[in-house]
Homo-oligomer: A and B are copies of this chain.
Amino acid sequence: MVKILILGTGSMATNHAAAFKAAPNSSVVAAVEPDADRRAAFGKQFGIENLFPDLESAIAWGGFDAAANVTPDAVHYPTTMRLLEAGKHVFCEKPLATNYPLALEMAETAEAKGVINMVNFTYRNSPALQKARELVASGAIGEIRHFEASYLQSWLVGKQWGDWRTESRWLWRLSEEHGSKGVLGDVGVHIVDFASFAADSNVATVESRLKTFHKAPGDKIGDYPLDANDSAVMTAEFANGALGTITATRFATGHANDLSLALFGTAGALEVKTDGRASSLRICTGEKDIDGQIWKDVETPPVATTYERFVIACNTGVNGDPDFRRAADIQRILDLCFAQDKARTLTAAAPAVEG
């Protein structure tokens, strides 16, 4: 039985509390929230008895084994480091940290402490993704040579999720000043993890290009400068040698929230799709099907969620996946994309060469 502290009480924290309450061999024993009203309401909603205004009080109390870190992105690092110091297992929301050096330090610290450390990459909960990885690892499609991965959204065009022009829950995502790293930080992180997890190989090299399109007069709406990236495209190579493209965009008109991944190998090919709810998997394998370009649906059994796997990891002492090291690897790719983009943008700001 793992005793879990929920750090934060926002809407994502609600998901964590519900998931950990529902998971076998787990109980939510405490929560931390500075605001007294929110703290009380959260405690009441989930029947949590031990409520603290700050992390230090919770650590002083000490009656928990593990913490779910659902604080704002920039707070993940200091709070997680404090929890690790106190010897607690940590399940952290993504992104693990705001940059690679911090993420790496968190991974190394957690490993040195020997505690369970996992990150909540939610798309790992797709049965089709887990099955695809299994098939790749079993050699079902041979050596992967090529891949295409994309995460397509369209809320900058369609109104299916509301209107970004007027709603702050969308506007902040368009503005670096409000903490956004654009589509790359928001969902690019998922598709990079998704693709390389299925391929069973890390991203070795990447070349990316980001773009922020003109979207409003002066590219500003109220207090929100609209400067975060809207689209991100990459060419990449996995450590296993496969070559391919990775895309994330909020301008994919006609797609609300579609992840798709094709893996092409020397003995077959796989295609995974999910919209975050249902997921599907197709395979083309065997000489006859390959020669005839025949694709078949694959059954994908239900899988444990990242929440459930964190609980299992705490109870067995065997770290789960995705761990902090994995999150740091992904963060390196994101940092690299941003650095490449900044270099490109500053180059373009140059005065024209006359000569």
Smallest CB–CB gap between A273 and chain B, Å? 13
Q: A245 within 8 Å of B by Cβ?
A: yes
Chain B residues, CB < 8 A from A208:
235
Name the segment of A131-139, A260-268, A312-320 touching the other chain.
Answer: A260-268
Q: Would A160 and B293 count as touching, CB distance under 8 A?
A: yes
Q: Would A160 and B336 count as touching, CB distance under 8 A?
A: no
Chain B residues, CB < 8 A from A252:
146, 262, 264, 269
| Most-contacted residue by chain B among A157, A291, A329 (CB, 10 A) | A157
A231/B209 contact (C-beta < 8 A), A157-B290, A204-B353, A352-B204 known:
no
Q: A287 within 8 Å of B by Cβ?
A: yes
Chain A residues close to B by CB (< 8 Å): 100, 141, 143, 145-146, 148, 150, 154, 157-160, 201-205, 207-209, 211, 213-214, 230-231, 233-235, 237-245, 247, 249, 251-256, 262, 264-269, 284, 287, 289-293, 295, 329, 332, 335-336, 339-340, 342-343, 346-347, 349-355
This chain's copy number in the assembly: 4
Chain B residues, CB < 8 A from A293:
154, 158, 160, 254-256
Q: Would A145 and B336 count as touching, CB distance under 8 A?
A: no
Picked from B231, B245, B287, the residue with its CB within 8 Å of the CB of A247 is: B245
Q: Would B145 and A251 count as touching, CB distance under 8 A?
A: yes
Give A293 to B211 CA distance when docked, in angstroms: 24
Picked from B146, B160, B289, B336, the residue with its CB within 8 Å of the CB of A251 is: B146
Chain B residues, CB < 8 A from A207:
207, 209, 235
- Give the secondary structure class of A's interface: mixed
Besides A157-B264, A160-B292, A203-B350, 12 other A-B contacts (C-beta < 8 A): A146-B247, A148-B150, A207-B209, A234-B235, A235-B245, A244-B247, A254-B289, A329-B351, A332-B346, A332-B349, A336-B347, A340-B343
Please name the residue on chain B nearest to A331 by beta carbon. Answer: B346
Picked from B202, B290, B329, B349, the residue with its CB within 8 Å of the CB of A254 is: B290
Chain B residues, CB < 8 A from A266:
157, 251, 253
Q: Would A244 and B233 count as touching, CB distance under 8 A?
A: yes
A254/B245 contact (C-beta < 8 A), A346-B339, A355-B240 known:
no
Picked from B141, B158, B352, the residue with its CB within 8 Å of the CB of A253 is: B141
Please name the residue on chain B nearest to A268 by beta carbon. Answer: B253
